Structure 1
Amino acid sequence: MAAKHVTLLYFGLLVLSSLLVISVSAKIGSWKLINEVNRKGPYIGLLTVFPPEEKAFLGTGALKPDPKHPFVDLSGRRYRIGTIYGKKVIYVRCGVGLVNAAAVTQQMLDLFDITGIVHFGISGNTNNSMSIGDVSIPKQIANTGLWNWLNPKGTVDPADVAQLEVRKYNVPKGDGANLLGKISYTSEQLFSVSMEPNAATTVFWEEVSQHWLQLASSLEGMELERCVNSSLCLPQKPKLVVGLKGSTADIFVDNAAYRDFLFKTFGVSSTDMESSAVTCWSNVIPIIVIRGLSDLAGGQSGANAMNTYGSLAALNTAKAVLKFISKLPGKNSR
């Protein structure tokens, strides 16, 4: 039995050793590939969220894969290497939510030679002057998911940005007790390479890059798609608007009261689940956010329209992204 145990132990150690060798070899191979890709850089980073957005973007055929290194697979995600209008780009789909967006953005910036990031996708519309199918390129984005959830008699921190008293939404309305209490909205603590290490700054509104925003202003008036198909069209021609505000939280908003609260309190026109987590602010490189409005975030009378018009919003977003890339300085600007 002792000899058998020794044999099993030896076999186990041999398997573990082999797995470690494979893991190290894979990492060395990835680093070699990343270095080869970076020698061809720098690149514009392109970051979207979930499959319908990717389908619309890749479906345009504008991304021309690099003939030698068309992609790099890292952490379960595929970074596609190529060009758009002769400009070198690296494109990746991060997945839904703040954690995915932050992790992938930082991985992209840490490993690849990136000069700026275009983050894009669809979002809910919280502004009645905007419509489904429109595209918003916001000037500011806030993380409206950082809450202090207080009891009914709780005191709101004076440093907090805003508060939502749940009792105001009682049905029927009244001043009766509501054990859900109140929610106060707090600011982000951001770290940056431009500051001392471990010295966080408190920020609520995160600004996109002003020179890219100015460049994007030339996109207003561009032609956007109106129809999902020959039998399903929007009642009005979609528009692209630059300079509004957006909100981000790990919350899919499909509630009219909360939609109105977000607009009235923060003045935001769109709500999504990733934009504020795209961490270019910490890395001090250019960033722009382009979001197509797929639904009314609960403001509709029937079912949420994302499943109906999401593909159209994603296509209009992709068209805006391509138009913006075409305006960037460099080869084949137009």
Structure 2
Amino acid sequence: MASRDQNFYLLFIFIIISSLYVFPASATFSHKLESAINIRRVNRKGPYIGLVTVFETEEDGFLSTVNFRPDPFHPFLDLSGRRFLIGKIHGKKVVYVRCGIGMVNAAAATQQMIDVFDVKGIVHFGIAGNINNSMSIGDVSIPKQIMNAGLWDWLNPDKAKGDDVAYLDIGNYNVPKGEGNNMLGSLGYSYEELYSVNGHTNSPQKVFWINTNQEWLHLAADLERMELVQCVNSSLCLPEKPKLVVGLKAATANIFVDNAAYRIFLYNTFGVSSSDMESSSVAMTCVSNGCPIIVIRGLSDLAGAQKGDNVVQKFGSLAATNAAKAVLEFIKKLPQA
């Protein structure tokens, strides 16, 4: 396997050649050259812990909670429209990025971080919807397995079901009953195709669950005793102290789940306790590259449980803060590079 230095020089040569062909003597070539040089300088100080969150509320909760110390020479690098912050938290070297909402953004930012920076693993964090009635708003879940709940086969109602993992028969939710079959039929939950450095080239493995890193989960187990935030402010508090749970299951899809019937279906069928729009994408990208991954999500709402607006508007910041506190404690537990 080529060393990181060899990979860098190959990338460096590729950038120069491609820039000469596409953008001769342009400012773009100069910008790419400068980026490549800065990346090289940053990676000399590695390896780093990669940190990936999603949107502004989570970022605000994180940066206001942790004592982030920017690198004095290269505090950030801007790549493909994203800003990667470089620095230290509790003396540990980190690279942080806000990826943006959805599975494509999550996978793109994660792959870019792995390709560009010398990272020894990635901590993905943010907020999520609660699917499990035994969990509560403000709790933090660190799942052991994550599924893509949005990889569907939308079946022809006149055809027999195939080899999907599970089925959602939409006709079971006809309201009112007795109006005939619902021609929307059924959804079949399909497998991911995992291309991996540990597999055979161009021979993806069919998987349904993506496993997070067992060693990091073991480290995170001690966090179950940590104290989490209970109040958004002096007039808005949760009825019980939030808890942190390690080892549950999570679902991801490009769907914001705010429907009680669908929440119950996900829990009863797959045993998942949280739902978000990025985690399986980050995890699958990491597993594909042989990069350790842990996911830390604060629960902001019980999907479909409330009337009117989703309570994520009330408790999203608290859930983000609790996730950030858990990330901080996990970083403390990681050994120095």
Query: What TM-score, normalized by structure 1, do the two folds share?
Result: 0.92
Corresponding residue number in structure 2 for 1:297: 303
Could you say which residue in structure 1 is the equivalent of 2:335?
Answer: 329
The residue that corresponds to 1:54 in the other structure is 59
Aligned runs of 1:65-104 on 2, under 5 Å?
65-104=70-109
Alignment-mate amino acid for residue 171 of structure 2: R
Distance between the aligned counterparts of 2:126 and 2:132, measured in 1? Answer: 18
Counterpart among 37, 42, 46 of residue 41 in structure 1: 46
Give the distance between the partners of 1:197 and 1:219, measured in 2 at CA. 38
Letter in 2 for 1:281: V
Mean CA deviation greater in 17-26 or 215-224 = 17-26
Query: Are 1:205 and 2:214 an aligned pair?
Result: no
Q: Match of 1:311?
A: 317
- Call closer, same or farther: CA 1:143–1:18 in 2, change over 3 Å: closer
Shift in Å, 1:234: 0.4
Displacement after TM superposition at 1:299 (Å): 2.3
- Name the structure 1 match of 2:279: 275
Aligned-partner Cα distance in 1 for 2:25–2:160:
54
Q: State the SS of the aligned residue for 2:229.
A: coil
Which of these residues, 97, 111, 114, is aligned with residue 109 of structure 1? Answer: 114
- Using the TM superposition, name which of 298-307 and 245-254 deviates more: 298-307
- Does the Cα contact within 8 Å between 1:139 and 1:208 map onto a contact in 2? yes
Q: How far did 1:175 drift?
A: 7.3
Please, which moves more after superposition, 42-51 or 172-181? 172-181
Offset of residue 63 of structure 1: 1.2
Partners of 1:72 and 1:208 lie apart in 2 by 28
Deviation digits for residues 83-106 of structure 1 (CA, Å, limit 9, x no counterpart)? 011000000000000000000000
- Number of matched residues? 315
Q: Does structure 2 conserve the Cα–Cα contact (< 8 Å) formed by 1:123 and 1:292? A: yes
AA aligned opposite 2:61: A
The corresponding residue for 2:268 is 264
Identity %: 65
**Could you tell me how far apart the structure 2 residues matched to 1:300 and 1:246 are?**
21
Q: Secondary structure at the match of 2:26?
A: helix
The one of 228, 244, 257 aligned to 1:253: 257
- Alpha-carbon contact 1:134-1:293 (below 8 Å) kept: yes
Q: Distance in 2 between matches of 1:79 and 1:208?
A: 23
Q: Does residue 64 in structure 1 map to residue 39 in structure 2?
A: no
Paired with 1:18 and 1:143, the residues of 2 have a C-alpha distance of: 39
Which of 156, 161, 165 matches 1:161? 165
The counterpart of 2:190, out of the listed 186, 190, 206, is 186
Checking the alignment, whether the CA contact within 8 Å between 1:219 and 1:324 is kept in structure 2 is yes
Conserved? CA contact 2:52–2:98, under 8 Å: yes
Deviations 1:275-310 (A, max 9, x none): 010110101121000000001111234431100000
CA contact (8 A) 2:66 2:328 kept: no
In 2, Cα distance between equivalents of 1:298 and 1:48:
24
1:156 CA displacement = 1.9
Q: Which amino acid aligns with 1:269?
A: S
**Whole-angstrom distance in 2 between the partners of 1:233 and 1:59:** 20
CA distance in 2, matches of 1:173, 1:101: 40
Report deviation, 1:174. 4.2
Q: Distance in 2 between matches of 1:197 and 1:74?
A: 29
Task: Report the AA paired with residue 27 of structure 2.
Answer: I
CA displacement at 1:155 relative to structure 2: 2.2
In the aligned structure 1, how far is the partner of 2:188 from the partner of 2:39?
Answer: 44
Could you tell me which runs of 5 or more consecutive residues in structure 1 were left unpaired when the two chains were aligned: 1-16
Please tell me whether the aligned partners of residues 126 and 269 of structure 1 are also in contact (alpha carbons under 8 angstroms).
yes
Partners of 1:168 and 1:174 within 8 A in 2? no
Query: What's the secondary structure of 1:225's corresponding residue?
Result: coil
Moved more, 216-225 or 171-180: 171-180
Pairwise CA RMSD: 1.5
* Distance in structure 2 (CA, Å) of the matches to 1:271 and 1:19: 47
Counterpart residue number, 1:242: 246
What SS does structure 2 have at the residue aligned with 1:250? coil
Rg (Cα) greater in structure: 1
Between the aligned partners of 1:205 and 1:174, the Cα distance in structure 2 is 37
Cα distance change on mapping 1:42 and 1:18 into 2, 3 Å: closer
Counterparts of 2:320 and 2:255 in 1: how far apart (Å)? 19
- Contact kept? 1:167, 1:175, Cα under 8 Å: no
Equivalence for 1:13: none
TM score, norm. by length of structure 2: 0.91
- Does the aligned pair in 1 maintain the 2:126–2:298 contact within 8 Å? yes
SS at structure 2 position matched to 1:290: strand
